Amino acid sequence: MTAFAVVTRGLTRRFGPTTAVRDLTLQIATGEVFGLLGPNGSGKTTTIRMLCGLLAPSAGTAAVAGIEVTESPDRIKERIGYMSQRFGLYEDLRSWASSAACRSWPGPSRAAGNSASPSPAP
């Protein structure tokens, strides 16, 4: 187990001339509860999407569970999950209710090594 669950150094994301995340450097210890707070447009979602391997950084580095996000984004996706507050499938459900609904969907079997996913429906 790594001492830090998340490590970023100089993490930056640009969209054209706009910089959404600039030079973010942080360490989040394994087991630590951590939150990103800020107004709309401050880069919270962009940061999370980079850490999940869903969006490539423009500069800098980030590792989650010891896995470098730019080198192995698929390995990160195997280890973590992400559900935004605005989940498009059911607009009237909150995140926790959408998450509960998704957990009931068939997915990879536990035998395939994914203990976080339910077994496929018979």
Say which residues have a Cβ less than 8 Å from residue 1's Cβ, sequence separation at least 6.
30
Same domain, 13 and 42: yes
Same domain, 75 and 18: yes
pLDDT in tens, 20-72: 999 999 999 999 989 999 999 999 999 999 999 999 999 999 999 999 999 99
State residue 82's pLDDT score: 75
Extract the runs of DSSP E, i.e. beta strands, from 1-122.
4-15, 18-29, 59-64, 67-68
Per the model's pLDDT, the better-predicted residue between 83 and 34 turns out to be 34
Q: Are 37 and 89 in contact (CB under 8 A)?
A: no
CATH assignment at residue 56: 3.40.50.300
Same domain, 13 and 69: yes
Reply yes or no on whether the pLDDT at 101 is more than 90.
no
pLDDT band at 122 (very low <50, low <70, confident <90, very high): very low
pLDDT in tens, 104-116: 666 655 454 444 4
Q: Number of helices (H) and strands (E), helices first, in the chain?
A: 3, 4
